Structure 1
Amino acid sequence: MNFPLFVARRIRNTHETSFSKTVTYVGIGTVAMGVSIILIAFAILFGFKSAIQDKLTSFAGDIRINQISGNHSLSDSPMLRNFAWEKSILKNSAVDHIQAHLQKPGILVGDAGLAGVVIKGIGHDVPKNQLSKNMLQGQGQAQIQHPQDIVLSNTLAKQLKVKLNSSLILYFLSNPERPRKVKITGIYETGLEELDKMFILADLGWVQKMNGWGADSIGTYEVFLKNTSDLYQSADVIEASMPPEWRLETITELYPALFDWMMMLDRNIVIFISLLLVVACFNLIATLWVLIMERIPMVGLLKAMGANHRQIRTIFWWNGFFILLRGLAIGNILAMVFCYVQSTYHLIPLDPESYYMNSVPIVWSMSTWIWVNIGTSLLVAIIITLPTIFIKKIQAQEALQYKH
């Protein structure tokens, strides 16, 4: 029989005063709140990063490949489509799909004014569900059925004061003397200002024709990966297979400001979680200290009966560990309830102009939940050994007369 564990179980639910009971509840509550906040913080952090990256990759892919040139404008330089290279890349297990695009600057004219835009031609190699998550009206590329159909952002629609099925005049800067009448068949919103204020989507073949390009000329390849954690490794493999006249850019190189912002979030979360763990540890130390002080006569009795310091310290260590386990259980339940409610009902809204999305996003990560629980248990289990050191200084005779 494990003597310290047996005694710890017997005294776990017995308290001599209401004060020690209150302190125990405070210890449980501190651990519960600390763990739940840590788990929620990770869920929100991963949610933000995943949502922003999904929005970016839906428009730019994980990897962008185009022709090496001295052209630094928003207009693509022509490159010949290489079907043999496309087939070889699709054999890479890390690649989900690849699609060809062409973008050219233009001016969109409406009844309420005009706006400088980038016309992005997309083809049938774009998956049907790729843009659907960002669509407010229409069904993304499924709405581009005719050469002069376009999909524009909600930001541009408000700026030009137009709506679905409205007609506009579009000028290609490469051919400004030939204005084209276009029809709005879809409206999207990513929440990312860099995209929403600039891009409109059109038929690839039509954009090629308007620029005098052949069907085998494109501006950009966009590569989508199955797992973004393999971004840089996959980029190296793809770059090694490319013709020498092409260049490759990852999504982090295309939008460095957004990824720097997300790295700043990582640092803030680390600092925040460290402070929470420090507070939880000190509260448990204080709780265990109070429990030891309340049971000094019991310590003296155990010493008089022959129990050694290690056994007595282990009894109180188990008491602290029981508090930790109850706090962990409550904290996990609170975090699960919050994450489920927020991910299902989106109760906490956000300003999309500042946060790039309409509500607080949640991403469940089972590995993160497991590691948070294991890490917290190990850290607190080590820390709560500190107050038990005081037991060595307690003399049996003085402890038995402590309350007198």
Structure 2
Amino acid sequence: MKFLFAWRYFKSKKSTNVINIIAWISVIAIAVGSAALILVLSVFNGFEGLVKSMYGDFYPDLRISATHGKYMQLQPTMLQKIHQIKDIKNISLTIEEKALLVNGEYQSIVFLKGVDSNYQNVVAIPKHITDNGKYELGFKTNPAIVLGAGIANAIGADLYSTDPLTIFLPNRNSENFSNMQSAMNSFNIRETGIFRIQEDFDNKYAFTNIDFLRYMIELPSDFYSGIAISLSGDANIDKVQSSLQSLMGKNFQVQTRYQQNQGLFSVMQMEKWIIYIILSIILIIAAFNMVGALTMLILEKRKDIAVLKALGANSSFIQGIFLNEGFLLAGIGGLAGMLIAFIICFLQQKFHLLKLEGGSFVVDYYPVKMHITDFILVGITIFVVAVSAAWIPAQKAATKEFSLKSGE
């Protein structure tokens, strides 16, 4: 009954046209605000998904490393037990060490990863190798290196050159670190490929085979920096992580892909909430229009309120009518805004209408990804705004006494 009254008041012609204008302004403002929220959150989701996919190609599903120190010691029996855990698809053993890479007069500090032959089945580095290169890491006595694009540019690496690069690695057994020749081990190494994933990786990392790196830093055969693990598609990553942590013990840490780069993903989540809060201010501003529309409607319908009270309607009933009127204004605007945002996002996904300027991006258009949770969140926000905006005018309509004779 309350909603029927509210619906009739919404549709009925008002004695003063400005009431209709203010009501529709509030509807349009809420529609614009809700559409803006959905659109911006969807674009943010698109960029977030793009970044996660790039980082996902570099970081494995799970990584085991030492809780303290750079290296960990692993017995063959432990590796067998890891293989036996359900949903583990592939594992790869890795060693990581800082190195100096020299090409003639050019040089650069790199994080050199020594990986085994199974590493390409754990992460997707090979698919990011640029033209004319290949993912080839060589052998212990004939090593090869795959460089990040930023490192390749810094040292002027050329895949067509027959001149090898020279790599310098710390001599762990040296007793005289002031002498370059005794403090560092050097070896000529050929470049076979250049990968381009993301600037953070391209400017920092290079890959070679694990046997060569172990030989260069004179690391014992059962010592590693980490174990990279990929899981089957339907695996419960939290369950596998828990099983691995129980197996490995407190001297090892098992991290998911996001935990390996927790700082980045925490910042991304924080940015999303900040964007949501800022854009919600648009809806709060729209609420001021709604307050004005409802206040003027109450003045317009003061005789109706007096009649309803004379017929026995209590304050709660009167208040409910104008609360529902607020829900109508907010609901129509909110649904219209969500529909507009859905159509725009769908068209952008389908036809890539809005392009990104410049040619240095991974994609040349704004990526969008709609999440049902964003629509629910915006719907809840609109509801809260509607209640907040309609409560005071509805309360006044319920408590104020209007005269049926004079209409005042």
Question: For this structure pair, what is the TM-score category when the shorter chain's length is used for normalisation?
Answer: 0.7 to 0.9
The structural deviation recorded for 1:242 is 0.7
- 1:327 alignment partner AA: G
The structural deviation recorded for 1:56 is 3.8
- Distance in 1, Cα, partners of 2:90 & 2:292: 57
SS where residue 151 of structure 1 aligns?
strand
The change in CA–CA distance for 1:247 and 1:377 in structure 2 (over 3 A counts) is: closer
- Distance in 1, Cα, partners of 2:63 & 2:353: 33
Which of 197, 203, 217 pairs up with 1:189? 197
- 1:110 alignment partner AA: N
Residue 370 of structure 1: aligned partner: 376
SS where residue 194 of structure 2 aligns?
strand
Deviations 1:70-126 (A, max 9, x none): 54xxxx56645543122233x1x5x66543222233222336611111221334434
Contact in 1 for aligned 2:137/2:207 (Cα 8 Å): no
The change in CA–CA distance for 1:133 and 1:183 in structure 2 (over 3 A counts) is: closer
Residue 34 of structure 1: aligned partner: 33
- Distance in 1, Cα, partners of 2:127 & 2:375: 29
Q: Is the aligned partner of 1:395 residue 2:402?
A: yes
SS where residue 397 of structure 2 aligns?
helix
- Structure 1 range deviating more: 314-323 or 44-53: 44-53
SS where residue 103 of structure 1 aligns?
strand
Residue 180 of structure 2: aligned partner: none
The structural deviation recorded for 1:173 is 0.7
- 2:152 alignment partner AA: A
SS where residue 118 of structure 2 aligns?
coil
Contact in 1 for aligned 2:46/2:369 (Cα 8 Å): yes
The change in CA–CA distance for 1:226 and 1:29 in structure 2 (over 3 A counts) is: farther
Deviations 1:207-236 (A, max 9, x none): 445556688764311245689xx8777645
Residue 329 of structure 2: aligned partner: 323
Which of 97, 109, 115 pairs up with 1:104? 97
* TM-score using structure 1 length: 0.75
Residue 131 of structure 1: aligned partner: 124
The structural deviation recorded for 1:323 is 1.6
Kindly report the root-mean-square deviation, in angstroms, between the aligned alpha carbons of the 2 structures: 4.2
SS where residue 322 of structure 2 aligns?
helix
Q: Is the aligned partner of 1:258 residue 2:264?
A: yes
The structural deviation recorded for 1:252 is 6.3
- Distance in 2, Cα, partners of 1:151 & 1:130: 14
- Give the 5 Å matches for 1:140-289: 143-144=135-136, 146-147=138-139, 148-162=143-157, 165=160, 168-174=164-170, 178-191=186-199, 193=200, 195-208=201-214, 218-224=224-230, 235-242=241-248, 246-248=252-254, 254-255=260-261, 257-259=263-265, 261-262=267-268, 264-265=270-271, 268-269=274-275, 271-272=277-278, 275-289=281-295
Deviations 1:169-218 (A, max 9, x none): 04141475543231232321313x3x332101234455445556688764
- Structure 1 range deviating more: 376-385 or 152-161: 376-385
- 2:29 alignment partner AA: T
SS where residue 191 of structure 2 aligns?
strand
- Distance in 1, Cα, partners of 2:29 & 2:224: 59
- Structure 1 range deviating more: 367-376 or 18-27: 367-376
- 1:87 alignment partner AA: H
SS where residue 391 of structure 2 aligns?
coil
- 1:14 alignment partner AA: S
The structural deviation recorded for 1:318 is 2.9
The structural deviation recorded for 1:395 is 1.4
Residue 114 of structure 1: aligned partner: 107
The structural deviation recorded for 1:332 is 0.9
- Distance in 1, Cα, partners of 2:300 & 2:390: 17
Contact in 2 for aligned 1:63/1:251 (Cα 8 Å): yes
- 2:397 alignment partner AA: I
* TM-score using structure 2 length: 0.75
Deviations 1:24-78 (A, max 9, x none): 221112222222233334434544554444444433435432346654xxxx566
The change in CA–CA distance for 1:388 and 1:67 in structure 2 (over 3 A counts) is: closer
- Distance in 1, Cα, partners of 2:5 & 2:67: 75
Residue 19 of structure 1: aligned partner: 18
Contact in 1 for aligned 2:284/2:385 (Cα 8 Å): no
Contact in 1 for aligned 2:152/2:194 (Cα 8 Å): no
- Distance in 1, Cα, partners of 2:126 & 2:326: 48
Contact in 2 for aligned 1:67/1:79 (Cα 8 Å): no
Of all paired residues, the percent bearing the same amino acid is 19
Number of aligned residues: 386
Contact in 2 for aligned 1:341/1:347 (Cα 8 Å): no
Mind listing any 5+ residue stretches in structure 2 that lack a counterpart?
172-183
- 1:396 alignment partner AA: S
- Distance in 2, Cα, partners of 1:129 & 1:69: 24
The change in CA–CA distance for 1:124 and 1:241 in structure 2 (over 3 A counts) is: same
